[in-house]
Structure 1
């Protein structure tokens, strides 16, 4: 049947005495309509593209990568990798496996001068794993102190962003910058951190102890998916590197050295795609981490160090109570 249609079309075009031009065009139009209705001829529809060079595009593309262009749409990231210790004068050691997740959502915000933007709210967990067995660590056999340290996993709630807009402080529009390599976008962020340590004293400026670290994030994914205005979510692959001081629960007491973490992951289609170890740990100990905080969450951010401070303070308080009884 399809071949018959094509033959008829060719005859209409070639025949010198097959009627006037208008009739032939009409017949070809009818033929094309028949093909479309029959499902043999597909006319591609050009998807609307987000303009990366506009303020609106800056907001939309960031939302697609970080969360969704739809308000209140929960999204989940997962990552895994390893943590290493570096001490002067000795080889680096792989001391942890890493397995983490972040559950988040975005909501629209408005500013009289900057226009429409968005705010991200999230909470995250990262588990420290035995680097050989992959099991969740409960204690860490510290090779430098000889102690068995109780492991405090990362459980930061909330980890919220400040409102983000497509307009800079000077009123100029922002553009969304990325590298396009064979249809894949590449985006990198380096975030040096240096601020007052939540577990330090009041004189860090004078005697040291400030929190000093660097976070490095990389995103890559399909450019066509990212720029397609009809798709509210992009699904990037991510990588994360962290350079930082010893974790407080390691009780290193000022020993020379540092940690560096390296992990990769991606945005998942849904919560159920999380690794079983994460889902099990969340179900048992962190049930609220199945969903992000509310969009209007007013709380101050939790960091690994403020979270550990709360736990260590609680332990010390309990030890003091036991000592007095």
Structure 2
């Protein structure tokens, strides 16, 4: 898939859809703590979804999306309201992921140059990779948020792999093809964990799949969304910016 247009369309058919319908991907996994001189520890199960839709624009596409994800008890899978830090005994209110929007613009000739998503093929297996390495001024400066932030620069890595079949991509009548994926995230402690400048951070390790629609999400997730943020049952209707992250969501919730 050396041709940028073919590469872009194939990636979108894998990750989302070229059609107008909402696309839902679901994931589940675990969140581990790592800190110098300490054994790794599993803190949470983590389950969530992204719901979005594709719009064609001059020179490429836009993907309009929002996503929700929930920190769960590592033993029972119950969605948590509070969490007790096992090291300090501090009781923390859990702030789940309610990120709206999480939009993407994918252009054949964008600000970073010609489009090309890294891809490998072995037999009928097609494997896409996205390594998103982040470093930018933190939305939570340490001077203002000493309990919630360890650095004035936010540093993290989001590592995705998407898997599909060449035999599906070779069917042009399919606007969307079946897809499974994995996701690893390396990040600082979450702001709501109130760990401040304590050394260490988190490893998120999840796997997931593209669903046939919102109704295919597990019932307990649909119930939780209906009770807390029912607009997450559908993709955004219009493009907006900037994107929301766990850090900006925390800041906005605690503004003033």
1:104 deviates by 0.4
Q: Deviation per CA, 1:1-42: give whole Å up to 9, x if none.
A: xxxxxxxxxxxxxxxxxxxxxxxxxxxxxxxxxxxxxxxxxx
Query: CA 1:107–1:132 in structure 2 vs 1: closer, same or farther (change >3 Å)?
Result: same
Match of 1:42 in 2: none
Q: Aligned with 1:190: secondary structure?
A: strand
Give the aligned CA root-mean-square deviation in angstroms. 2.1
**1:181 corresponds to which of 122, 130, 136:** 122
Match for 1:297 among 231, 239, 245? 239
Structure with the higher fraction of residues in strand conformation: 2
Residues 57 and 175, structure 1, Cα contact 8 Å, conserved in 2:
no
Q: How far apart are residue 176 of structure 1 and its match? A: 5.6
> Which residue is 2:147 aligned to?
none
Q: Which residue of 184, 201, 215 corresponds with 1:272? A: 215
Shift of 1:257: 1.2
Q: RCO higher in 1 or 2 (8 Å CA, sep ≥ 6)?
A: 2
Aligned residues: 251
Aligned pair partner of 1:190 in 131, 142, 158? 131
Mapped to 1, the partners of 2:121 and 2:76 lie a distance apart of 39
| Equivalent pair of 1:124/1:157 in contact (CA under 8 Å) | yes
8 Å contact kept, 2:8–2:108: yes
More helix per residue: 1 or 2?
1
User: Which residue is equivalent to 1:38?
Assistant: none
Secondary structure of the residue aligned to 2:29 is strand
Tell me, in whole angstroms, the C-alpha distance in 1 between the residues paired with 2:253 and 2:116: 42
- Three-state SS of the structure 1 residue aligned to 2:8 is helix
- Aligned positions of 1:33-44 closer than 5 A: none
Shift of 1:148: 1.1
Is the 1:79–1:101 contact (alpha carbons within 8 Å) kept by the matching residues of 2?
A: yes
Match of 1:154 in 2: 97
After TM superposition, the score normalised by the length of structure 1 is 0.73
1:92 corresponds to 2:40: yes
TM-score (norm 2): 0.91
Structure 2 unpaired stretches of 5+: 145-149
State yes or no: 1:68 paired with 2:20. Answer: no
Among candidates 307, 310, 314, match of residue 249 of structure 2: 307
Tell me the distance in 1 between the aligned counterparts of 2:112 and 2:53.
28
Q: Tell me the residue number matched to 2:8.
A: 59
CA distance in 2, matches of 1:262, 1:130: 16
Instruction: For 1:1-325, list aligned pairs within 5 A.
Output: 52-70=1-19, 72-110=20-58, 116-162=59-105, 164-167=106-109, 174=115, 177-200=118-141, 208-294=151-237, 296-313=238-255, 317=256
1:72-96: per-residue Cα shift (whole Å, max 9, x none)? 2210000000000012222111000
